[in-house]
Amino acid sequence: MATTSSSTSGSTTPLLADVDDGVLESALPKPSPSADASTPLARRRPTPLPKAQLFVLCVIMLAEPVSYTQIFPYINDMCYRLGYAKSEKDVGFISGLIDSLFAISNLLTVMHWGRLSDKIGRRPVMVMGLVGLFACNIVYGFSKSLWLTVVARLTMGALCGNGVVTQSIVSELTDETNEAQAFAFISLMWAVGCIVGPTIGGTFSRPAEQLPQWFDTPFWRANPYLMPCLISAGLMLLSLLFCVCFLKETLPAKARAAQSPREREESNERLRAGERAYGAMDEQVPAEAAGILPKEEDRLWTTWEILHAPGMVKAMVCTFLMMFENQAWDIVFILYAYTKLSLGGLSLSNIQIGYSLSFAGSVGAIIQVFIFPRIQRRFGMSMYPVVLAVLLLMFPAAPALRALVRGAVGDMERGEAGALALVGACGLAFMGRIAAMIFPLTFILCKRITPTPSALASTAAIAQTVTAGARAVAPWLVSSLFALSANSSFLGGNLIWALMTLIVAGSVWYARDLGSALEEAEKDKAERLGS
């Protein structure tokens, strides 16, 4: 049973400091019906979650999505009013470029942060990322020139390695019976960030105009986009406080070294009793001594070796496609909602865009916490292409909604399109939250596709590099395609929607046998690890 839990938890194996040789064999957890690997996952009793640490991690995780999404309601308005774009038709080119810069710099640095967290620990890397987000939010808020905005966004992406660190921490805290619930909470924080971030950006951008009773002063008129950045920076400080004061180190060697003698003895007592509190953090028996992990596997795998592991290429291609398509939707939806009806959009105001995103995020939070873990335990990875296919409904629905609104109210000015436009936008944003169930599924996929426990963080870093690549390509590409569609009569101005629908259809077809590839990879891993 210890062999099974070590291989399926997907975590690196801790070093042993104070376990007596005589308890090694008795320390291994005893087989039980609730944890037998042959028992279907849906029928196993879930391992209790480390709720306190997950709560701390959730608070910390709120920082990144808020920092990333708070610019969405006003980025197009910012590019136009500050003169980054010559005309409203050109806004998509500039805003897409600015958004891509975050992912481009993240693409070039995320492998470094993943490797560094394997060497110095998870907490120090998390602290560096939060400090970087705090500083860059303030610089972004004060920027009034394109070059300074670009520098702030580039630096923000380069200093932020929190995604790969968080994924590693959750993997080290869970096993396959509770991973869906734990990863759902992490995805929940992204959904909450999608509520908080756009609400902040939509409500507090241009405060001298939107909240004149409090902020109609020369300072706020001169810095129209500073307020949401300051609020976002305040949340970064809160996350930093929780990280420094409450987050425990989970890198196995570091975590073991930080234990007090009493904590080590309590861990050893649990081992003697065959107990397992949660995830990998209670696996104190050294892999080689306990016969869990062959010596040749207990090492840091190279990137080349990981990429050539069974099923890895399939998993990484699916990861790229899902991120590209979901990121494309997030970006093009905001641009579509902002653009005038006469140019192919819905003519919504900044605050209306923020409210629609916040509504969708609220409903998405319920989906992530209460619905996703249940259906994932029942259907497993077979639901991956099904969730991906939700986008097949969303991309064609956008031009249909615009045609419906325009037919009902005509070419209204921004913010005056009426309830139909706002309700329709909320509906499309809600569908985006359903499609977002693909993210915790991808976390689970990357954890299970890991060829050996010692390659956990490196595999997560590869996945983060792949997703960063998708995030680098998608914003500029779809924003440019949207701008081209607005300036062209080809396909009635619906080029962007037609192309994205075809891309999604192709990715759903490609992911149809992902479950088989994962089974092959897990079988190969079990054979190598001696399971």
Q: What is the DSSP letter of 121?
A: -
What's the CA gap between 243 and 53, in Å, rounded? 10
Question: What is the maximum span of the chain, computed from C-alpha positions, in angstroms?
Answer: 81
Q: State residue 299's pLDDT score.
A: 61
> Residue 124: is it exposed, middle or buried by C-beta count within 10 angstroms (0-12/13-18/19+)?
middle
Q: Which position has the higher pLDDT, 291 or 417? A: 417
433 vs 4, which has greater pLDDT? 433
Q: Which residue has the higher pLDDT, 89 or 64?
A: 64
* Gap between the Cα atoms of 286 and 269, Å rounded: 16
Cβ of 213: how many Cβ atoms within 10 Å? 5
How far is 329 from 307, CA to CA, in rounded Å? 28
Quote the CA–CA distance of 445 and 517 in Å, as a whole number: 11
Mean pLDDT of 306-326: 92
Q: What percent of the chain has pLDDT over 90?
A: 20
pLDDT (0 to 100) of residue 394: 93
Q: What angle do CA 103, 223, 71 make, to 5 degrees?
A: 30
- Is the CB of residue 156 less than 8 Å from the CB of residue 102? yes
Is residue 268 over pLDDT 70? no
Q: What is the pLDDT of residue 224?
A: 92
8 A C-beta contact, residue 113 and residue 121: no
Domain 70-252+303-529 belongs in CATH node 1.20.1250.20: yes
| pLDDT at site 46 | 67
Arithmetic mean of pLDDT over the chain: 78
Comparing 90 with 419, which gets the higher pLDDT?
Answer: 419
Single-letter code of the amino acid located at 277: A
Q: Is 15 helix (H, G, I), strand (E, B) or coil?
A: coil
Judged on CB neighbours under 10 Å (0-12, 13-18, 19+), 331 is: buried
Does residue 508 sit in helix, strand or coil?
A: helix
Q: In this predicted structure, what is the pLDDT of residue 472?
A: 76
Instruction: Say what the alpha-carbon torsion angle 514, 519, 522, 528 is, to the nearest 10 degrees.
Output: -120
Question: How far apart, in whole angstroms, are the C-alpha atoms of residue 262 and residue 101?
Answer: 48
Q: What is the domain partition of the chain in residue ranges?
A: 70-252+303-529
Least confident of 121-135, 231-245, 323-337, 482-496: 482-496
